[in-house]
Amino acid sequence: MDVSKDPLIPPVYDVFWVVGPVLALALTVVALVSISRTAHRSLTELFVWLAIVLFVPVFGPIGWLLVKRSLPKTAD
């Protein structure tokens, strides 16, 4: 019996199909919460970022999180 091909232990690529979408969803949720807590210059800017984060699956949230770091800090 070949021990390296155990049917109960999934290969790495099978695990990725579960973990990948979960990480993408978590990244989207983090970006949406971050957008909701950030002061925007206009309502249009808010809706554009929401559309980018929602309709560009992984790169939209990463883009927002990178751009957010370069935004000036506002005094509350």
Residue 73, pLDDT score: 72
Residue 17, pLDDT score: 82
Which positions ≥6 away from 68 have C-beta within 8 Å? 34, 38
Average of per-residue pLDDT values in the chain: 85
pLDDT, tens digit (0-9, with 9 covering 90-100), for 52-75: 999 998 999 999 999 988 877 765
Residue 19, pLDDT score: 87
Three-state SS sequence of 8-58: CCCCHHHHHHHHHHHHHHHHHHHHHHHHHHCCCCCHHHHHHHHHHHHHCCC
pLDDT, tens digit (0-9, with 9 covering 90-100), for 27-49: 999 999 999 998 877 899 999 99
- Structure tokens belonging to residue 62: 């990463």
Amino acid 1 reads M
